Amino acid sequence: MDDCLFCKIVRGEMPAHRIWEDERTLAFLDIYPGTAGHALVVPKAHARDLFDLPADDRDAVFATARRVAAGLVAETGAEGINLHQANGKAAGQVIFHFHLHLLPRREGDGLRCPWIPSEGDAGALADLAGRLRDRLAAPD
């Protein structure tokens, strides 16, 4: 897409701190980092979100994410990594080009999880699980 920020970065029309690139993916540092070393991995071909992402690009993004995550842990001394990915405005997606956030983590780094866990209703969970099993077992 011509006006997509991440497409412009892929094409070299916008600056970015590039850290890895192959034929299908690009990884670069987030300019609004949640933690030191916060990186993004994007497919080079435009895909709006997870539902628009072809399987080959999905696989390439996750292969790149694994490689970059290992580098981030080694270089930042992180004790762990969070992967974060949002689909749609309601989920917090701001740039509508599929992207995967890699957030190096350390105990006490202050980054908060996007929700506060609380126990779900057992009956509602069982009901939803049954409906989902039926839907997912149905032919496409």
Tell me, yes or no, whether 89 lies in a domain: yes
Tell me, yes or no, whether 133 lies in a domain: no
Tell me, yes or no, whether 88 lies in a domain: yes
Q: Which of 38, 46, 97, 99 is catalytic?
A: 99
Instruction: For 46-85, write each residue's pLDDT tens digit.
Output: 999 999 999 999 999 999 999 999 999 999 999 999 999 9
What is the token pair recorded at 139? 């032919």
Query: How many structural domains are present in the chain?
Result: 1
Mean pLDDT (whole number) for 10-32: 97
Tell me, yes or no, whether 135 lies in a domain: no
Cα–Cα nearest to 104, from 16, 40, 21, 15: 40
Q: What pLDDT is recorded for position 118?
A: 85
Residue 99 annotated as catalytic? yes
Tell me, yes or no, whether 15 lies in a domain: yes
Q: Which CATH number characterizes residue 30's domain?
A: 3.30.428.10
Which residues span the domain enclosing 45? Answer: 5-114
DSSP sequence for 62-94: HHHHHHHHHHHHHHH--SEEEEE---SGGGT--
Tell me, yes or no, whether 23 lies in a domain: yes
Mean pLDDT of the chain: 94
